[in-house]
Amino acid sequence: MRIAIFIFDGITALDAIGPYEILGRLPGAQVTFCALEAGVCRTDTGALGLVADKGIDDVEAADLLIIPGGPRAGGVASDPRLQAWVRRVHATTRWTCSVCTGALILAAAGLLDGQPATTHWYRFDALAALGAVPVRERVVVSGRIITAAGVSAGIDMALQLAAILGGEALAQALQLSIEYDPAPPFDAGSPDKAPPEILASVKAFYAERDKGRS
């Protein structure tokens, strides 16, 4: 199974690594990390380089296409060349998936027009502006497109997809192999659960960050 994972400068690493860690262990998986051009992409913090072994022009088809996000994914999504590639590869996939603001890239390519989808909780307006119908769920399946909520949601998405592709026993084996028995020390992982002052502080942080960018 050919799995193409798109990466870019400014990517949030866990968006890509969560699904990779699970789907890359499916029997017969052939994972290709690709970017606009082959070479090193730096993550959103700048602290890590991820190697894209191929440029997108060298990836014409895939069984699974995984599009992660990052704080600047909305800008990345506006590239007509990327949009055309996403559409072209999507035409060949069994499943096309996004994590976090990777949904903005799918939406900008026209894949989510009128479709239910999710993204990072802070970017619902941006997703709606691109024609999708935001749904506040951790994983949204619509046709053969699967969108996951922010960052860590890609792990849950990948387990669901592993079960679809290889059966529940295989998905459970993969879950056990990465010892995914989550025990977060707090229950603050969604805007519905986080204390209001925490939610306000994160929103303020994002607003400041986005201001500095424009």
As annotated, the active-site residues are 100
Report 125-184 residues binding a second copy (CB under 8 A): 138-139, 149-153, 155-156, 159-160, 163, 168-169, 171-173, 175-184
Detail the DSSP E strand segments found in 80-131. Answer: 95-99, 116-117
Separation between Cα atoms, residue 43 and residue 147, nearest integer Å:
21
Query: With CB under 8 A as the contact rule, which of the stretches 22-30, 57-65, 87-95, 105-113 interacts with a second copy?
Result: 22-30
Regarding 28 and contact with a second copy (CB under 8 A), the answer is: no
- DSSP character at residue 57: G
**Among positions 78, 201, 208, 210, the unique one binding a second copy when judged by CB under 8 A:** 201
Separation between Cα atoms, residue 102 and residue 118, nearest integer Å:
10
Least gap, CB of 123 to a second copy (angstroms): 11
Regarding 195 and contact with a second copy (CB under 8 A), the answer is: yes
Regarding 64 and contact with a second copy (CB under 8 A), the answer is: no
**Among positions 4, 11, 17, 109, the unique one binding a second copy when judged by CB under 8 A:** 17
Among 93, 138, 85, residue whose Cα is nearest residue 110: 85
For residue 122, give every residue at least 6 positions away whose Cβ sits within 8 Å of its Cβ, in sequence order, or none: 150, 202, 203, 206
Let me know: does 35 contact 62? Beta carbons within 8 Å. Answer: no
Residues in the chain: 214
Query: Where do contacts with a second copy occur on this chain (CB under 8 A)?
Result: 12-14, 17-18, 20-21, 24-25, 29-33, 40, 45, 47-51, 53, 100, 120-121, 138-139, 149-153, 155-156, 159-160, 163, 168-169, 171-173, 175-191, 193-195, 197-199, 201-202, 205
